[in-house]
Structure 1
Amino acid sequence: MDSWVFWFLLLQSMVQYLQPVDDGLDEVTCLRMEARAKLQEQEKIRLEREVEQLTLMQSGTSWGGDLLWSALQPWQVWAFAGLLVLLAVWFMWRKRSHKAEISDEKEKEKQKEEEEEDEIWAYDLRWLLDERIQWPVQDLQTGCNRTMALIDNFTSVIGRALTGTFYPVLQQAIGFGSAFEGWTARGEEVVYHVLIPLSPPLGHTFHLERDNDQQKPGRNFRVRVKLECSCPREHPGVNLLCFLHHPDVVRRRTQQPNLLDSLCTSFFLDVQKIVLWFCALVRASWRCLPQSRSWHLVLLASTRSCNLRLNNDQESFLIKVLFGVRRHASDIFITSRPRGAQTPSIMWPETYAVAETKFFRHMARQAPQDSSHIKCLQLLACVLAHKDFSIHSVKTIIMRLLNTIPVSRWHRRYFLLQLSDALEQLRLSLEEKHLEHFILGNQRLPEEIRLPQDVRRAKPPNLFHGLVQDPAAHSQAMQAYLDLHHRLARVLAYGQF
């Protein structure tokens, strides 16, 4: 528009200041020129009007916009601006929602692929564990239930027979060991271990004395038996049935010896005498038990335990009965279990087997239903069968891993990973010649496992202490580990032990 106005003004100036070229023009020419001048003047006026109209139209549009904005109220302006903001936010939200939908679809596809991979992996692992590897076929739970029912019947019948005597009182039996933990080694007969706690009879007390002989391995005790007064407190010595004050009178009237006279040696409870005494009671009471109608009982010779072999036409099983004294109402006992070939008959080694079994039961309740820790331990035990290597060392490593690795990580799909962790821990322990005891000094056990204060605060002993002093034993243990590793690879590859 500005360029058009410029050319119009230029034409106007040219017409306005145009001068005649020749004064001697004829009249006709002058008339033509005057007529032409009038026409140009009219055209000029017309063009000026059009320019004015165009200018008015442009200014009118601008004024209309200004009038429109000036007519709006401030809240209307803010409302309009808010609407624009909401529209922008809505557009951005739709854009992000679309991206999120796409991302969710990709995540679902990825999760579906992972689930399919897990199913394939679970199938492969199930094929490896259940079909490829030949596991022991014993029904351990049935065997444990049958064992505890039998021993409970024995203690009930024997307990009634001992009423009014001064022999030890038999407490409720406790199952412990690998069978009660849910695993066993391949190629070995399952032995069901049972502990029968003993408590002192009337007029007697048990006092545990620690054996501080450093030459003997482990923590060992003696059980000193003392007679206690059964007289009224205000009149000590007047009760004629008090073993402490009138032992001869008690023997004459009851026709029963006191515990010191029957099952002790030099005031200490004698393991071998207790075993012989209990075996005699088992023989005498066997016919009173309902199991005698379907099973045949054989007592196997042993000096520190009562071993019962039961068999019929279809099957046979072995029970090893140990005796013990509980320490301070805890899960720690001193027992008749031997410690070495020359364990004295008055020595009662401290055992932690009951606490370990209780730990495995606790983990069975906490771990996933398809947990791999028992399979892992059982596979190692099967490979180690008849080898010069302590399965208790491997069991200790598994217990330590159970106590540190979250229970969710023991799912069956992590079996090979946990097996690898156990082997690595075993290798490091052998190289360092150091593996700490699991129960002694352990401050991170479940609360349900009760320990005496001296056990809880004790410095955990090194289970591989012997390897430090004997280089030949260390070399032999390392070779056993290499054999273990080779046999495991063979088992996983071919299913052959």
Structure 2
Amino acid sequence: MHGGIFKVCLVVVTAIVNHPLLFPNNSTAVPADDDFIHQKLREREENLKKHLLELEQLLSRQEEPAEDDAKTESKELEGESGWDLWSTVSMVIFLMIEVWRQDFKDNNSPEQSKEEDDLVFIGNNCHGVVLPDKPILTIFYDQYIHATTHDAVRSREFVEGFADDLLEALRSLCNRDADMEVEDSICIGSMYENWRVNRPLICDLLVPFAPPEPYRFRCQPWVSDPSLGPDKQSYGTILVCGPDDEPSGCVCDKKRLGEDMLCLLHHPTNNRKVNKDINLLCSTNTNYLDIGQVMKWFQTAVTKAWSKISHKYEFELTFSHLDSPGALRVKFKSGKVISFNITPVVQYEDTDLYFISHFPSMPREVSSGIYWMLSFAVYERRFLKDFAKKLPDNSCHLSCLQIMTFLHSKQCHITGSSGLTTYHLKTVLMYLLLSRPSTDWGNVLLEERLRDMFKSLEKSLLEKKLNHFMVGNSKLPNTVNLPEHFRVAEPLNLFRSFVLNRDLYQKTLSMFYEMLKNATVVINEYSLHLPNGTTKPS
């Protein structure tokens, strides 16, 4: 019996030592052919039996008397029968290990390959990248970005004046009883936050509009509408309501008037006739405002308004993108071109939030739809303006964002666009402003703060998580005056698309690290002077 146990242990140890799963560095791949495995096992079994039998016979001749030959023979037969039993059990164990190895390999290969894809970028981190030092960054900013900022001031002044004239002409052509009412434009975006560097210099303006009386818009953002699922976060719907939808027949905001005040304009005694021919731009068979209908209406209105005032100007006005009716392009006789976006929006209640069909920086194909995105652009501009008052004179916070935006733009020209946008870069900066003392943003610390921005962005990309700065941010200053139900809402992950789209995530991460590697080369290429003050050869 002890000999049988010794034999089975020997076979099992041999199988384990030679198994590639447990000792991959000391073995070769196991052949997939079962017959080949069985043949090898049988050969090893026969060799072991032969050597063990010879050993037992030698010991029996030396130590046991001749009269015990019969007993020895019977023990040998017993050992051989025990060997057969234990050999069979050993072979079964060996085969079970092999089957388990194959299942383990098949079930874990996809996961391992995915993990390996993510681990490709581990060696490429911000700590190992050499960014330009402070003198080079200063030269680059003064010679390239500062000149761009100076041009932006003149472009803004022209666009604001022309937009006012265009909207005034549009209002003069509208029928107040049947057409949408257009309000004054609102300036937003990088041009008015003083960090735009990419050419062409494009101004972004929002144009709020409202339905003719006695109709009104009732906006329903995702935070107040449970029917909007996770895929519609940051979206909302706009319901077109008539006088019959209000118990009192009044379309005024009761919060402005007070509960006990009487509205003389929309009181039930004022039996104003409702025009049944009004085009309320609703989606088919619904009372929800349709994006496609609004875009068509706005394009037609702008075209008519320009026809009325075109004789006053000596330049051409055209649409830059057919899929974005508010994208306009002015071309002077000198050849100079100024582009700007003028986008129709709907105001959310009595706030500075606006429902928008698409963000001007990311034009999309106009299609019929009732889900509008919510823009926090006015609050973001207010935050940056107010926070700048706390920072040192000539602070470097916008310089960091400008340099990072410039590098991102140049890398996109090389590798193509990805899931990373300038809005993400701006969000990273705003979070960093709240996390560091105001004294850390002096101009002499430009290099350190730029590296901090890259590190923060890298961390967010690796975690696939970058929360919206306004939604669910408990650290947001009260001076921003954001509506409370957005401040306490669930955080909104701007990198949610990376969780859902692995290919997009891999492309974005690869582009980010390429941007890091190329940062010094690109900045040197666009600098007009070398660090020692000599002019670069042309």
Aligned twin of 1:170: 182
Pair member with larger Rg:
1
Q: Decide whether the 8 Å contact of 1:332 with 1:452 is kept in 2.
A: no
Q: What SS is found at the alignment partner of 1:139?
A: helix
Aligned twin of 2:443: 412
**What is the CA-CA distance between 1:380 and the residue it aligns to?**
1.0
Aligned residue among 491, 516, 520 for 1:460: 491
Q: Which has the higher contact order (CA 8 A, sep 6+)?
A: 2
Q: What SS is found at the alignment partner of 1:460?
A: coil
- 2:238 is aligned with 1:223: yes
Q: Decide whether the 8 Å contact of 2:193 with 2:381 is kept in 1.
A: yes
Aligned twin of 1:328: 349
- 2:172 is aligned with 1:160: yes
Query: Which aligned pairs between 1:56-71 and structure 2 lie closer than 5 A?
Result: none
Q: Describe the superposition over 1:253-304 as per-residue Cα deviations: whole angstroms up to 9, x where unpaired.
A: xxxx3343x5664222222222222222222222554894232211345455
Query: Which aligned pairs between 1:241-280 and structure 2 lie closer than 5 A?
Result: 241-243=272-274, 250=275, 257-260=277-280, 265=284, 266-280=286-300
Q: Distance in 2 between matches of 1:164 and 1:472?
A: 50
- 2:468 is aligned with 1:444: no
Aligned residue among 209, 220, 232 for 2:220: 209
Q: Distance in 1 between matches of 2:508 and 2:296?
A: 38
Aligned twin of 1:306: 326
Q: What SS is found at the alignment partner of 1:269?
A: coil
Aligned twin of 2:455: 424
Q: Describe the superposition over 1:226-269 as per-residue Cα deviations: whole angstroms up to 9, x where unpaired.
A: 211669999987755332xxxxxx45xxxxx3343x56642222
Aligned twin of 1:377: 401
- 2:141 is aligned with 1:129: yes
**What is the CA-CA distance between 1:439 and the residue it aligns to?**
1.1
Q: Decide whether the 8 Å contact of 2:134 with 2:446 is kept in 1.
A: no
**TM score, norm. by length of structure 1:** 0.65
Q: Describe the superposition over 1:87-141 as per-residue Cα deviations: whole angstroms up to 9, x where unpaired.
A: xxxxxxxxxxxxxxxxxxxxxxxxxxxxxxxxxx987764353248897476112
Taking structure 1 as reference, are residues 443 and 344 closer, same or farther at Cα in structure 2, changes over 3 Å only?
farther
Q: Describe the superposition over 1:339-388 as per-residue Cα deviations: whole angstroms up to 9, x where unpaired.
A: 97686432211122232223223334443341212221111111111243
Q: Distance in 2 between matches of 1:160 and 1:348?
A: 28
Q: Distance in 1 between matches of 2:493 and 2:480?
A: 22
Q: Distance in 1 between matches of 2:326 and 2:141?
A: 36
Q: Where in structure 2 are there 5+ consecutive unaligned residues? A: 1-132, 251-261, 529-538
Q: Distance in 2 between matches of 1:236 and 1:331?
A: 28
Once structures 1 and 2 are overlaid, which stretch shifts more, 144-153 or 467-476? 467-476
Q: What letter corresponds to residue 384 of structure 2 in structure 1?
A: F
Q: Describe the superposition over 1:469-496 as per-residue Cα deviations: whole angstroms up to 9, x where unpaired.
A: 4444433333222111112232455546
Taking structure 1 as reference, are residues 158 and 263 closer, same or farther at Cα in structure 2, changes over 3 Å only?
farther
- 2:440 is aligned with 1:402: no
Query: Which aligned pairs between 1:380-395 and structure 2 lie closer than 5 A?
Result: 380-385=404-409, 386=412, 387-388=417-418, 389-395=420-426
Q: Distance in 2 between matches of 1:146 and 1:341?
A: 28
Q: What letter corresponds to residue 235 of structure 2 in structure 1?
A: N
Taking structure 1 as reference, are residues 196 and 458 closer, same or farther at Cα in structure 2, changes over 3 Å only?
same
Q: What SS is found at the alignment partner of 2:384?
A: helix
Aligned residue among 160, 166, 170 for 1:148: 160
Q: What SS is found at the alignment partner of 1:165?
A: coil
- 2:200 is aligned with 1:189: yes
Q: Describe the superposition over 1:172-199 as per-residue Cα deviations: whole angstroms up to 9, x where unpaired.
A: 211111222212344x422221111123
Q: What SS is found at the alignment partner of 1:181?
A: coil
Q: What letter corresponds to residue 176 of structure 1 in structure 2?
A: I
Q: Distance in 2 between matches of 1:438 and 1:237?
A: 44
Aligned twin of 2:513: 482
Q: Distance in 2 between matches of 1:342 and 1:318?
A: 20
Count of matched residue positions in the alignment of Structure 1 and Structure 2: 364
Alignment RMSD, CA only? 3.3
Q: Distance in 2 between matches of 1:493 and 1:237?
A: 71
Q: Decide whether the 8 Å contact of 1:271 with 1:304 is kept in 2.
A: no
Q: Where in structure 1 are there 5+ consecutive unaligned residues? A: 1-120, 244-249, 252-256
